[in-house]
A and B are shown apart, each in its own frame.
Chain A
Amino acid sequence: MAIEVRIPTILRTYTGGAKSVEATGDTLDQLFTALDAQHPGVRGRLVTEEGALHRFVNVYVNDEDVRFTGALETKLSDGDSVTILPAVAGGS
């Protein structure tokens, strides 16, 4: 099943400049693995070595921040849209 993934500027080096790509997966975790097969290296920018979602990115499935819907275990359905944005944060 095809899921549209919107890629932020900072990660478009992995997608040959594409703003949006398609991949498949039943969960976000599977989707990111499939995405990495097409665009090697991109998963490492989204998922830590410990297997958690990176704190430097926000990921949304149809407008919902996945931190509130099960993070990498969030279920996906055909036609869902995934948006990745860089988290904007900092501190003094």
Chain B
Amino acid sequence: MLTIDRATYDAIVAHARADHPDEACGVVAGAAGSDQPTRFIPMVNAERSPTFYRFDSAEQLKIWREMDDRDEVPVVIYHSHTATEAYPSRTDISFASEPDAHYVLVSTADPQTESFRSFRIADGVVTEEKVQVLP
């Protein structure tokens, strides 16, 4: 299960809405071993594309170093799908390389209601998990 606070949940959705129709992406860092996402870090989609995303490699190095220095890990790795459902695509699965991360997908296909779902992706196997939003 992913447990996430309301402010971080809303920030992820707002980022996805703001970048629509391009895919938005980022991470939420948290203390190593805590499984608690606490530090919201929106990132640049280097592809600036409605169907693909990639972390900018220089920005990623900077943020991964910063997390290392603070003894944090990427607890949540999120991105949006802008025309399809919030479910990992084949490309998402082939790139997924953090078996301990919660892969969050937000679909902005519907302008009124967003879909926010969380998955574990390990060895090519996708497992959906419950999302608990804390007030």
Contacts and interface: CB of A to CB of B under 8 A. Distances in A.
Contacts, number: 73
B88 A90 contact: yes
A69 to B, nearest CB: 12
A83 B61 contact: yes
A29 B28 CA distance: 34
B64 A90 contact: no
A9 B98 CA distance: 8
Interface residues on B, range: 20 to 34
A24 to B, nearest CB: 23
Given A9-B98, A10-B97, A56-B97, A91 B53 contact: yes
Given A9-B98, A56-B95, A56-B97, A90 B89 contact: yes
Contacts of B95: 56, 86-90
Contacts of A34: none
B132 interface: no
B61 A90 contact: no
4 A-B pairs with least C-beta separation = A90-B92, A86-B97, A91-B52, A89-B54
Given A85-B60, A87-B55, A92-B51, 6 more contacts: A10-B99, A63-B58, A67-B57, A91-B23, A91-B92, A92-B82
